[in-house]
A and B are shown apart, each in its own frame.
Chain A
Amino acid sequence: MRTRERLRVAASEAVGPYTLLRVARGGIETGTPGQFFMLEAPGRLLPRPMSICLVPRGELAFLIDAIGPGTRALCELDRGDELTVFGPLGNGFRLDVPRPLLLGGGIGIAPLPYLSEALGSPPALLGFRSDRHAEAAVLVPNAEVVVEPTYVTEAMPEGHDVLACGPEPMLEAVRRLVPGAQLAWEAPMACGYGACYGCVVDGKRLCLEGPVLEAAA
């Protein structure tokens, strides 16, 4: 069940160009892989949606790319700082897949470490825009890495149940190639609980019906 709590930062670690923000979990539930939390971004009006990356004992960990004022504020948090966390929210990945293949692109690998753990470290294929960004692949076991100009869709083996998260062009390409793939989408959202209608993809509010949607067969 979703709850809202003020939590304390346990650690903030660099992973390549990204930041892994670890917060002491308090009484908040961990959720399932693909679900997300709204994180208060200090000094900003709106919280930011972040998918759950890992659940170390007693903690929640989020992988964050500092691309704007909100994500920068989150990446600047230090051990001991407090922030309000709301979740878990949305629907995660279905885990009843016989031959899983995890596909990730850039910061879209964020939900894959927890997903990999839940599925017993299945094969993964991760795409990044540079070698430095590719350092984040260390978070996903059993992963093959490609760097631009090679795309994950070019290196993708056939015959798998694909679970993917990445930039919209990547998800659109996967959707065309693999009907039935589970795709975790991203959209700016103000609330995370169905109030704002900001995060609609294909007529669906990602925060309620997603962020994982099934590619139409």
Chain B
Amino acid sequence: MIVNASGCLDALAAPEVARELDAFVTKTITPLPRAGNPPVRIAETEHGMLNSIGLQGPGLDTFLADHLPRLAGLGLPIWVSVGGFSAGDFAQSCARLDEREEVTTVELNLSCPNVDDAVETAIELVAAARAVTSKPLFAKLSPATWDIAELARAVQAAGADGLTLVNTIRGLALDERTLRPRLGPAIGGYSGPALKPVALAAVWSCFRATRMPIVGMGGITCGRDALEFLAAGATVVGLGTVLFADPPAPSRIRAELNDELERLLLPDVASVVGIAHEEELSGETTLDRELRMFA
């Protein structure tokens, strides 16, 4: 199953891209409209890119009245990413989304690197959301945390149904000539291929710690990348930065993933999920596994 990473696709501006996904994840919705951060907002670096958009968006009222009905018209499951600055913000948004049948899943953005941190902890924010909605709740976490597995266990205990791993990590790029920050707000969220090993490690650790469903993302550019996220424990993969340069990436990556499965004699996607942990789980050695796979 392939989705977009929140904030990396506008399904209303590019419905032909959205329709190639298995579900569309909205840009993070905040209770009030936000103008976002001052320019410059985008900077490419050697192995990835930085962004500092700052959760620009129409606010919850406009989203519910105008955007959501149009998104529902696309005919694919709609996951809504929710953001805010307090437990009250999250509760307010989730309560109103709970009333809307167009919404399949709610993703809690607990980790935007470009806005000031919420005062409450991830646990309080998840608990506040859980109290007001029965929709599936996915907590989106940053890998830039002391122990992401512990955080994953905590949000699970607070009522999350799944995890979205990972959000961007903070980065800085300086101008070639002036040596001043290239982004208006100086620091931004780092994404792209460089993030992949970081994200894979997060998926790996959180899968072991919680066994929750995981949407894995971070630097996926091809079918092989997607396969590795599944192997580390993701059940769904998310595409972010790759969509900017390559809008047809969803169908390309889906085809490449199927080719990879065939090449490795794996019957289907479900058979891959968590396979990287198998040796640990079954006592099987690498040699045993190879003999079995290629028998």
B44 adjacent to A197 (CB under 8 Å): no
Kindly identify which residue among A68, A193, A199 contacts B14, using a CB–CB cutoff of 8 Å.
A193
A47 adjacent to B248 (CB under 8 Å): no
B14 adjacent to A195 (CB under 8 Å): yes
Number of B positions contacting A (CB below 8 A): 31
Q: How far is the CA of A200 from the CA of B244 in the complex (A)?
A: 16
Chain A residues lying within 8 Å of B42, measured Cβ to Cβ, are: 188-190, 196, 198-199
For the A-B complex, the count of residue pairs with Cβ-Cβ distances under 8 Å equals 81
Kindly identify which residue among B14, B27, B35, B41 contacts A198, using a CB–CB cutoff of 8 Å.
B41
Is residue B241 contacting chain A, with contact meaning CB distance below 8 A?
Answer: yes
Residue in B closest to A41 when the chains form the complex, CB atoms: B44
Number of A positions contacting B (CB below 8 A): 26
Is residue B247 contacting chain A, with contact meaning CB distance below 8 A?
Answer: yes
B247 adjacent to A188 (CB under 8 Å): no
B8 adjacent to A45 (CB under 8 Å): no
Closest Cβ of chain B to A87, distance in Å, is 12
Type the 1/0 row for B230-270, where 1 means its CB is closer than 8 Å to any CB of A: 00000000000101110110000000000000000000000
Is residue B49 contacting chain A, with contact meaning CB distance below 8 A?
Answer: yes
Is residue B159 contacting chain A, with contact meaning CB distance below 8 A?
Answer: no
Residue in B closest to A192 when the chains form the complex, CB atoms: B244
Q: Which chain B residues (4-20) contact chain A, with CB distance < 8 Å? A: 7-10, 13-14, 17
Residue in A closest to B182 when the chains form the complex, CB atoms: A188
Type the 1/0 row for A84-107, where 1 means its CB is closer than 8 Å to any CB of B: 001000000000000000000000
Residue in A closest to B221 when the chains form the complex, CB atoms: A45
Of A40, A44, A187, A198, the most chain B CB neighbours within 10 A belong to A198
A86 adjacent to B247 (CB under 8 Å): yes
Closest Cβ of chain B to A40, distance in Å, is 8
Is residue A70 contacting chain B, with contact meaning CB distance below 8 A?
Answer: yes
Kindly identify which residue among A4, A68, A86, A200 contacts B39, using a CB–CB cutoff of 8 Å.
A200
Closest Cβ of chain A to B69, distance in Å, is 19
Instruction: Given the known inter-chain contacts A46-B44, A86-B247, A197-B7, please indicate yes or no for A187 contacting B39, CB distance below 8 A.
Output: yes
B241 adjacent to A201 (CB under 8 Å): no
Residue in B closest to A40 when the chains form the complex, CB atoms: B245
Is residue A208 contacting chain B, with contact meaning CB distance below 8 A?
Answer: yes
B245 adjacent to A194 (CB under 8 Å): no
Closest Cβ of chain B to A187, distance in Å, is 6
Q: Which chain A residues (17-60) contact chain B, with CB distance < 8 Å? A: 40, 44-47
Q: How far is the CA of A191 from the CA of B249 in the complex (A)?
A: 13
Chain A residues lying within 8 Å of B241, measured Cβ to Cβ, are: 45, 190
Chain A residues lying within 8 Å of B48, measured Cβ to Cβ, are: 45
Q: How far is the CA of A86 from the CA of B244 in the complex (A)?
A: 11
Of B27, B36, B41, B56, the most chain A CB neighbours within 10 A belong to B41
Is residue B51 contacting chain A, with contact meaning CB distance below 8 A?
Answer: yes
Closest Cβ of chain A to B188, distance in Å, is 10
Chain A residues lying within 8 Å of B36, measured Cβ to Cβ, are: 197, 200
Kindly identify which residue among B7, B10, B13, B40 contacts A187, using a CB–CB cutoff of 8 Å.
B40
Kindly identify which residue among B8, B10, B39, B49 contacts A46, using a CB–CB cutoff of 8 Å.
B49
Chain A residues lying within 8 Å of B103, measured Cβ to Cβ, are: none
Q: How far is the CA of A155 from the CA of B234 in the complex (A)?
A: 62
Chain B interface residues (CB < 8 Å from chain A): 7-10, 13-14, 17, 27, 35-36, 39-44, 47-49, 51, 53, 56, 176, 192-193, 241, 243-245, 247-248
> Can you pick out 16 interface pairs between chain A and chain B where the beta carbons lie within 8 Å of each other?
A46-B245, A47-B244, A68-B176, A86-B247, A188-B42, A189-B42, A190-B44, A190-B49, A190-B241, A190-B244, A193-B247, A195-B13, A195-B14, A200-B36, A200-B41, A201-B39
Q: Which 3 residue pairs of A and B lie closest in terms of their CB atoms, listed nearest first?
A: A194-B13, A198-B42, A190-B244
